[in-house]
Amino acid sequence: MKNLYQPNFAKIEKIEALSPSVKLLRLRKRLNFIPAQFVLAGVWGYGEAPFGVASSPYEKRYFDLMIRDVGMVSSAIHSLKKGDEITIRGPYGNGFPLEFLKGKDVVMVSGGCGIPPIASLIEYFIKNRKNFGRIYLLYGAATSEDILIKDKIKQWGKADVKILLTVDKPTSDWQGYTGFVTELIKEIKINPLDAVAAMCGPGPMTSAVEKILRPLGLPDRRIFVSDERKMHCGIGKCQHCTTGDKYVCLDGPVFNYDQIDKNWD
């Protein structure tokens, strides 16, 4: 019998500050995953926590996590340096439904620290660009400092991904949009009959965007959201990540809005 709780070890190849509160962790280990699948990363003495994988699913040599210093485990990870080891379990969860997305226009919406699974999805799209219609990334953050991986975003723009960035509090040199991500919806041109949305971000943002996507003609079943919950086991036992009759670790983290909408918690 396989021990699914047994962690593997991964060496930190690179650690880089992406913003005052977010660090990129490059781990030297091959991980076969689908964008929006996640790992449980741990530091001995602090425990484990779930993180979405941010790098390209085609990358064989390493994978990246983007970690905001917000809890016990993430804060312990922030104090690590290059060459240190962390524990890894996974990948877990379902990931975005890549086959279903094929041939369609895609609107991706992300806010704050919700960018990792979206970043991974974009890398997948770019590798398979001809299989998809128009691709949009709507990305909002509090300040321009909080827009992560700006260089990457620039590269995506050159690879036929339409980028729309917005911040709540612009500085004088800010060239993107100002205001909530919801404001950006009017800038996009999609065929609602053949389009999908993929979102990851704070709850109020995703529910606000969903309210706007519906009038555009996008049915709930084609709006995909990567959800977040507390998690201890990753294999559907511990009960921390349940939402309605679903487990975020097994049935999610990606749900279509039709599934989420009916949930009582």
Partner 1 sequence: MVSVLEKSRIPELLEDLSKKYSVAYFQKDKTALSAKGYFFPPQETLFSYLFKNKKLSLSPKPKKKFLLFGLDPIDLEALDQLDEIMTKPKEDYFYLQQRKNSVIVGLAEYPLKVPVTVGDLILDKINENQYRAVALSKIGRELIKNKNFKLEKNPEILNYPEETSGLRELVKDSEFLSEVVLWSWRTKHPIWDKLGKICLGCGICTYVCPICHCFSIEDEIKLDGSDCQRCRLWDACTLNNFAKIAGGKNYRPNQKFRYFNWFHHKFVRAYKEYGKSQCVGCGRCQKYCPAHIDIEKVLLEIIKDYKNEKSLSA
Residue 237 binding partner 1, by CB under 8 A: yes
Residues in Cβ contact with 106 at an 8 Å cutoff, skipping those fewer than 6 apart: 125, 132, 133, 134, 135, 136, 195, 196, 197, 198
Residues in Cβ contact with 98 at an 8 Å cutoff, skipping those fewer than 6 apart: 34, 35, 124
Tokens read off for 164 = 């729309």
Residue 83 binding partner 1, by CB under 8 A: no
Residue 78 binding partner 1, by CB under 8 A: no
Q: Which lies closer to partner 1 via its Cβ, residue 6 or residue 172?
A: 6
Listed ranges 54-62, 164-172, 213-221, 223-231: which one lies at the site for partner 1 (CB under 8 A): 223-231
Residue type, 154: K
Residue 85 binding partner 1, by CB under 8 A: yes
Half-sphere exposure of 208 (CA within 13 A, CB side): 15
Give the whole-angstrom CA distance, residue 243 versus residue 146. Answer: 29
DSSP state of 157: H
Tokens read off for 85 = 């080891």
Q: Which lies closer to partner 1 via its Cβ, residue 4 or residue 159?
A: 4
Residue 243 binding partner 1, by CB under 8 A: yes
Instruction: Tell me which H or E stretch contains 146.
Output: none
Give the whole-angstrom CA distance, residue 265 versus residue 262. Answer: 9
The residue from 15, 53, 73, 122 that contacts partner 1 (CB under 8 A) is 73
The residue from 71, 97, 133, 219 that contacts partner 1 (CB under 8 A) is 71
The alpha carbon of 262 is separated from its chain's Cα centroid by a whole number of angstroms, namely 23
Instruction: Tell me which H or E stretch contains 172.
Output: none
Listed ranges 39-47, 158-166, 212-220, 253-261: which one lies at the site for partner 1 (CB under 8 A): 39-47
Residue 238 binding partner 1, by CB under 8 A: yes
Listed ranges 40-48, 120-128, 150-158, 162-170: which one lies at the site for partner 1 (CB under 8 A): 40-48
Q: Which lies closer to partner 1 via its Cβ, residue 111 or residue 132?
A: 111
Residue type, 163: I
Residue 235 binding partner 1, by CB under 8 A: yes
The residues of the shown chain that bind partner 1, judged by CB under 8 A, are 1-7, 9, 42, 44-49, 70-74, 85, 203, 228-230, 232-233, 235-240, 242-245, 250, 264-265
